[in-house]
Structure 1
Amino acid sequence: MKFIESRTFTAARAWGALDIANMNGITVRLHWADKPYEWHVNDGEEVFVVVDGQVRMDYRENGQTHSVVMSAGDIFFASSGAEHVAHPMGEARMLVIEKEGSV
Structure 2
Amino acid sequence: GSPVPGYSAPQDTIVPAARVGLLLIETARSAHAGEGVAPPPLPEGLRPEAARLAADVAPDLPPALAVALVAAWSQLFGLVSFEVFGHFHNVVEDRETFFATAARRLGQDVGLLPRG
TM over 0.5: no
In terms of fraction of residues, the more helix-rich structure is 2
Greater share of strand residues, 1 or 2?
1
Q: Which has the higher contact order (CA 8 A, sep 6+)?
A: 1
> If the length of structure 1 is used for normalisation, what is the TM-score?
0.25
| Larger CA Rg, structure 1 vs 2 | 2
